[in-house]
Amino acid sequence: MRREIRSFVKRNGRITPGQKKYVSLYLEQYEVSLNSECLFSQSFGNKNPVIIDIGFGNGDDLFSQAYNNPQYNFIGIEVYLSGIGVLLKKITENSLVNLRIINGDAVEVLNNNILRNSVSKIQLLFPDPWPKKKHHKRRIIQLEFVNNIYEVLCSEGFLHIVTDCEKYAEYIADVIKKSNKFVDEFSINNHGMNFKRETTRFEKKGLNKGSIIREFSFVKK
Ligand SMILES: C[S@@+](CC[C@H](N)C(=O)[O-])C[C@H]1O[C@@H](n2cnc3c(N)ncnc32)[C@H](O)[C@@H]1O
């Protein structure tokens, strides 16, 4: 069944001819096929640990993480084709083999298409904070979604969330605590998968406004 409330607004247009060109030429080749449950080893041809980035925007940071960490497989999930076009350009220009894309709603993808206990890390960098109270139901971080993240993560898998919105940070901490399924990685001194991060487009916007960046790093209990 399709959800009514989404964490993004459907928008048409707003894609440049260049981005469109990369999408039509390469998306099929680099997209993870969503059979009933996608098997990463088929997509990548190896069994390296998989990291999923949800809502990668134009993928600057995701590209550099994948480029600098070839011993891991990366999958970016994004709804908007414009950002996918930007990322596909970089992937193809650099012949990157450890980065694949899913064009879709991450909430549905996690619910329906990802094998349980198959992902080593899930990251959400600057998910939309939906600051107005009447829009809080649109926030991607909801208890049910966090439970699904827990299900698809491997044993001791990592969940990394970054936001520049103080109120969203408080809310995220609260939802994770309520889920009772994660521990803060600092509390158990397990920092196994922290890669160097590029400043993302949304992070730059936040920093320009003087916002404080809050990073959460959790480990599956
Ligand atoms: C505020 S932007 C952050 C983009 C990027 N991570 C950055 O830091 O620059 C949030 C992104 O999440 C994407 N998004 C929102 N809900 C999503 C969903 N349910 N599934 C996949 N992507 C989603 C939006 O399209 C948007 O690109």
Q: What is the pTM of this model?
A: 0.95
Residue nearest to atom 24 of ligand 1 (CA): 55
Give yes or no for a contact between 190 and 156, defined as CB atoms under 8 angstroms apart.
yes
207: helix, strand or coil: helix
CA-CA distance, 79 to 57, in Å (whole number)? 9
Q: How far apart are CA 50 and CA 121, in angstroms?
A: 7
Distance CA 42, CA 96 (A): 16
Q: Are 42 and 176 in contact (CB under 8 A)?
A: no
Domain count, the chain: 1
Is 172 inside a domain boundary?
yes
In a domain, 3, yes or no: no
Atom of ligand 1 nearest to the CA of 201: 9
- Cβ-count burial 112-128 (b if 16+ within 10 Å, e if not): ebbeeebbbbbbbbbbb
Which protein residues touch ligand 1 with a CB less than 6 Å away? 7-8, 54-57, 77-80, 83, 105-107, 125-128, 140, 200-203
In a domain, 11, yes or no: no
The whole-number pLDDT of residue 32 equals: 92
In-domain check, residue 31 = yes
Sheet-wide strand order for 119-125: 99-103, 73-78, 50-54, 119-125, 153-163, 214-220, 182-184
- Nearest atom in ligand 1 to 109's CA: 20
DSSP label at 125?
A: E
Mean pLDDT by 10 residues, the chain (221 residues): 78 88 97 76 89 96 96 96 97 97 96 93 97 96 98 96 97 97 82 84 94 95 94
- Measured from the Cα of 203, ligand 1's closest atom is 8
Q: What is the pLDDT of residue 130?
A: 96
Q: Within a domain: residue 92?
A: yes
Whether residue 206 is contained in a domain is answered as yes
Would residue 9 count as lying in a domain?
Answer: no
The Cα–Cα gap between 164 and 129 comes to 9
Per-residue pLDDT reduced to its tens digit, 71-88 = 999 999 999 999 999 999
Share of the chain above pLDDT 90, in %: 82
Pocket test for ligand 1, best of 2, 3, 5, 7 (most atoms within 8 A of CB): 7
Among protein residues, the one with the nearest Cα to ligand 1's atom 19 is: 105
| 34 assigned to some structural domain | yes
Q: How far is the CA of 57 from the centre of ligand 1 (A)?
A: 5
Q: What is the CATH number of the domain that holds 131?
A: 3.40.50.150
Q: Report the catalytic residues.
A: 128
Query: What spacing in Å lies between the alpha carbon of 58 and ligand 1's midpoint?
Result: 9
Domain hosting 89: range is 17-220
